């Protein structure tokens, strides 16, 4: 026997494949499923004509989800994909998380088991024993067989959204994809909740630091780069020698007057006679 009824199994499968909120699932209508285009339109929460983020969004339908949605639409006699027993929308106070916890307990997905003696409880004294297995036990006080109750993880329905985001990121998805699938209005929310789940988060950033890294030697190029001056003098000289010095013939060099002029080729500042009230004559 399957631990879940058909309608609940299809609802939880849709939640895992799409990351929809509880209100978005219960308010989902058949007209929101575009089977041919493989898209799902999220336009409302419960019977409100808007979502929590005040925006409609389109979610691609995974191949594994199509059989569950097709079966849910075929079994529904109303406009809703997951209607209540009366064909109308399930009420907002539907405890879907309790249904999920009970199913986990029947499937054996639990954190442990609690064995309780009902006879001692009826007498006003509790006899409880916690264990990791459901093997029958007898009460140490009265010897009666104890009642075993599975202890599933205290799962919320909202945790299914976290499961969807975690699986997407673990298999190569990005935070941008998670934001658009879950319908977060602010990307900061997505980054704050799920950034630590990205493989190699911040590792590539710190590895960009150049500390302790040797620069990669550049290969010498024979052709000069654009904008580099080309020097031909001494280009063929040996590495240990520089270009041959120029010979100066006596009388061919600059005169003493030119040597003095080299020290001050331009007049600095204003000329003396151009200054106001200057008594120095101009030469």
* pLDDT of 109 over the 50 cut: yes
Q: How confident is the model at residue 205 (pLDDT cuts 50, 70, 90)?
A: low
Distances (CA, A) of 53 to 17, 21, 24, 134, 171: 20, 11, 11, 44, 26
Nearest alpha-carbon partner for 17 in 31, 38, 44, 47? 38
pLDDT band of residue 154 (cuts 50, 70, 90) is confident
Residues 129-154, mean pLDDT to the nearest whole number: 93
**In this predicted model, which residue has the larger pLDDT, 58 or 194?**
58
Summarize the confidence of residues 1-6 as an average pLDDT.
Answer: 75
Asked whether residue 57 is assigned to any structural domain, the reply reads yes
Question: Mean pLDDT throughout 19-27?
Answer: 94
For 254-264, the pLDDT digits (tens) are 444 444 444 44
82 vs 28: CA distance, rounded Å: 7
Residue range 240-257: average pLDDT? 51
Does one domain contain both 28 and 74? yes
- Mean predicted confidence (pLDDT) in 33-48: 93
Averaging pLDDT over each range in 51-55, 142-146, 204-208, 219-223, which range is the top one? 142-146
**How would you classify the pairing of strands 112-116 and 147-151?**
antiparallel
Does residue 183 form part of some domain? yes
Binning pLDDT at 50, 70 and 90, where does residue 271 land?
A: very low
The SS3 call for residue 219 is coil
Residue 274 located in a structural domain: no
Whether residue 137 is found in the same domain as residue 166: no
Q: What is the mean pLDDT of residues 63-89?
A: 95
* Lowest mean per-residue pLDDT among 36-40, 105-109, 234-238: 234-238
Taking the whole predicted model, whether its pTM rises above 0.85 is answered as no
Angstrom distance (rounded) from CA 34 to CA 85: 25
Domain interval for residue 20: 6-99
Residue 80 belongs to some domain of the structure:
yes
Only one residue has tokens 């024979």, namely 222
Q: Which string of DSSP letters, residue by residue, matches 120-152?
A: HHHTT---EEEESS----B-TTT-PBPEEEEE-
- Give the residue with greater pLDDT, 185 vs 38: 38
Query: Do the domain assignments include residue 208?
Result: no
> Does 248 map to a domain?
no
- The answer to the question of residue 30 being in a domain is yes
pLDDT band for position 274 (50/70/90)? very low
CATH label of the domain that carries residue 47: 1.10.443.10
Q: What is the CA radius of gyration of the chain?
A: 41
- Do 61 and 36 belong together in one domain? yes
- 142 and 194 part of one domain: no
- Are 161 and 182 contacting, i.e. CB atoms less than 8 angstroms apart? yes
Is 283 within the bounds of a domain?
Answer: no
In total, how many domains does the chain have?
Answer: 3
Neighbours of 109 (CB within 10 A): 14
156-160, 180-184, 225-229, range with the lowest pLDDT: 225-229
Instruction: Report d(CA 177, CA 25) in Å as an integer.
Output: 20
The answer on 165 and 139 residing in a single domain is no
Q: Collapse the DSSP code of 3 into the 3-class scheme (helix H, G, I; strand E, B; otherwise coil) and give the result.
A: coil
For the segment 196-209, the average pLDDT, to the nearest whole number, is 65
| 273: Cβ contacts below 8 Å, ≥ 6 apart | 280, 281, 282
């Amino acid at each position: 026997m399957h631990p879940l009824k058909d309608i609940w199994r299809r609802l939880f499968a849709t939640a895992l494949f799409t990351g929809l909120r509880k209100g978005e699932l219960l308010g989902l209508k058949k007209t929101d499923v575009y089977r041919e285009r493989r898209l799902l339109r999220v336009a409302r929460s419960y019977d409100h004509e808007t979502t929590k983020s005040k925006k409609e969004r389109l979610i691609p339908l995974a191949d594994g989800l199509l059989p569950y949605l097709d079966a849910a639409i075929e079994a529904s006699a109303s406009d809703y994909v997951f209607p209540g027993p009366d064909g109308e929308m399930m009420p907002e106070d539907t405890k879907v998380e309790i249904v999920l916890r009970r199913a986990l307990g029947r499937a054996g997905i639990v954190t442990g088991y609690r064995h309780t003696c009902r006879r001692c409880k009826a007498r006003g004294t509790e006899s409880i024993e916690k264990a990791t297995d459901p093997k029958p036990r007898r009460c140490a006080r009265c010897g009666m067989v104890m009642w075993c109750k599975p202890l599933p993880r205290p799962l919320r329905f909202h945790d299914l959204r976290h499961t969807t985001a975690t699986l997407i990121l673990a298999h190569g998805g990005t935070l941008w994809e998670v934001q658009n699938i879950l319908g977060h209005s602010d990307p900061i929310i997505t980054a704050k909740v799920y950034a630590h789940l990205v493989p190699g988060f911040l590792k590539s950033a710190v590895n960009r630091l150049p500390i302790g890294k040797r620069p990669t030697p550049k290969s010498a190029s024979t052709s000069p780069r654009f904008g580099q001056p080309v020097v031909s003098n001494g280009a063929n000289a040996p590495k240990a020698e520089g270009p041959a010095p120029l010979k100066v013939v006596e009388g061919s060099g600059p005169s003493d007057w030119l040597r003095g002029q080299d020290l001050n080729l331009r007049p600095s500042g204003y000329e003396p006679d151009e200054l106001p009230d200057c008594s120095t004559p101009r030469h």
